[in-house]
Amino acid sequence: MKLQFRYRFEAAHRFLSSSSLPCKTPHGHSWYATMTVAFKSKVLNDNQMSVEFSAIKTHWKNLIDQTFDHSYMHHHKDPVAELLIKETPSPRLVSFPGDPTTELISLLMFHKMKLIIDQAEFSDLVEIHQIAIEETPTNTVVCDKDFYTTSFAAFSHIDGWWSTSEIKNHSASASV
């Protein structure tokens, strides 16, 4: 059995390495982020549940609200981030080790939630199954456990918002 939580957030991003002018220009989306967890047990507990939903939901909502909502997701070398720090009081900046593509966003969110779930009181009940990020109504990227297991190693040596289970506000932080 699997459980999904879906939240919407508003955020902007841009790419440094894209050949597409629209993608090189800072632009925003109404993103939808869906986390799917799989239950480890094949039976329901005495309350006919697998886990208390609120226990998991709170962590996912906090990550979305405190890190991503109304943020500028950027490559750690993006000069626009430095300008925002100089010109805007406490900008909410979310740095990435490369262009903040939907693929990279979903991969790093998967890792972040894996760390959170692995340390949570309900870690023996569920495991993260996938993260789906909808950038537009026609574009959704799904990072599943297999893709995560194969691909995260390329980023495991880099520290950033994804490298600890701590959730914190990313205002005025432009470094990876």
126-136, pLDDT tens digit by residue? 999 999 999 99
Query: Residue ranges of the domains in the chain?
Result: 2-163
Pull the structure tokens for residue 25: 């220009």
State the pTM of this model.
Answer: 0.93
Q: Note the Cα 113 to chain centre separation in Å.
A: 8
pLDDT tops 50 at residue 173: no
**CA proximity to 93, closest of 71, 75, 64, 63:** 71
Query: Averaged over 73-79, what is the pLDDT?
Result: 97
Average pLDDT, the chain: 93
Alpha helices in the chain (DSSP H): 21-24, 53-63, 79-87, 102-119, 145-151
Q: What is the number of H-type helices and E-type strands within the chain? A: 5, 6
Question: Does the domain formed by 2-163 have CATH 3.30.479.10?
Answer: yes
pLDDT band at 95 (very low <50, low <70, confident <90, very high): very high
SS3 42: coil
Query: Averaged over 131-144, what is the pLDDT?
Result: 97
